[in-house]
Amino acid sequence: MNILVVSSSQRNESKSFDVAKYIQSNILDDMQDIDSSILDLSRYPFLLDHYGISREDFSQEDMDNSASLASNKDEVLSQLYACDAVVFIAPEWGGMIPPALVNLLLLTANGSANGLPLGHKPAFAVGVSASGGGSNPISLLKGYAAKNSHLTWLPLHAIVQNVDDFLAQPWEPQSDSRFSQVQSRLFVGLKSLTIYAKQLSSVRDELVELSKVHPFGQ
């Protein structure tokens, strides 16, 4: 089973990427029969303009960018299609989610992806904040991200607040500290994600075909 962890910050060496590595090393690497990979959106800046690829008035520089954009899209879509479940690590930027994550979700729609790469695959949301925030990304993602992607949100989620302090903590999910409780939420959420993925795998193809009848949720 392949779990894809999406680090949604478009900043290089972001705290979201650190959280992705933290989850991978402390949880996913210890799960049997689980392969995991990290999709770092900071590596794909051209995805911020993926709707511009069909323009006909490109300069040579635009054409070069267009080729990079197409390559970016193909690489990202191949990872989305290959995974069995996805973890979205979303930093809170002024109460919003990063534009790169918005465009990634737009890219997963049937018309953009030539199918539904995340259709009926379970998803687990993790909010990240440098201070006491992090709840808004959860609300935004669960409020609209499934409409065109047809992914399946878990009822569980986790919020990593004071991320620098959190990352400095030892891995002790059984303890009673505030940070340990977040560690426990991450562990339970990811364990639940693998159970959902296993159970949905046998019916996903049939459900995706039904979703394609009305791919935009109307």
> Based on the structure, what is the number of domains in the chain?
1
Question: How far, rounded to the nearest angstrom, does the alpha carbon of residue 156 sit from its chain's CA centroid?
Answer: 15
In a domain, 61, yes or no: yes
142 CB-side CA count, 13 A: 15
Domain that holds residue 78: 2-211
Name the one residue in this structure whose structure tokens are 């490109």: 58
In a domain, 51, yes or no: yes
What CATH number is attached to the domain comprising 196? 3.40.50.360
Burial 76-115 (b: 16+ CB within 10 A, else e): bbebbbebbbbbbbbbbbeeebbebbbbbbbbbbbebbeb
| Number of residues written out for the chain | 218
In a domain, 91, yes or no: yes
Residue 58 pLDDT: 47
In a domain, 217, yes or no: no
In a domain, 179, yes or no: yes
Residue 72 pLDDT: 81
Q: Angle at CA 22, nearest 5°, toward 19 and 27?
A: 125
d(CA 213, CA 54): 25
Task: Report whether 165 contacts 138 (CB < 8 A).
Answer: no
Residue 148 pLDDT: 94
Here the tokens at position 51 are: 């709707």
In a domain, 33, yes or no: yes
In a domain, 216, yes or no: no
d(CA 103, CA 11): 15
d(CA 56, CA 99): 24
d(CA 134, CA 129): 5
pLDDT in single tens digits along all 218 residues of the chain:
999 999 999 999 999 999 999 999 999 999 999 999 999 999 987 676 655 544 455 455 544 566 777 778 889 999 999 999 999 999 999 999 999 899 999 999 998 899 999 999 999 999 999 999 999 999 999 999 999 999 999 999 999 999 999 999 999 999 999 999 999 999 999 999 999 999 999 999 999 999 999 998 66
58 CB-side CA count, 13 A: 13
Residue 186 pLDDT: 98
Grouping H, G, I as helix, E, B as strand and the rest as coil, residue 218 is coil
Residue 61 pLDDT: 54
In a domain, 144, yes or no: yes
Name the one residue in this structure whose structure tokens are 């669960």: 142
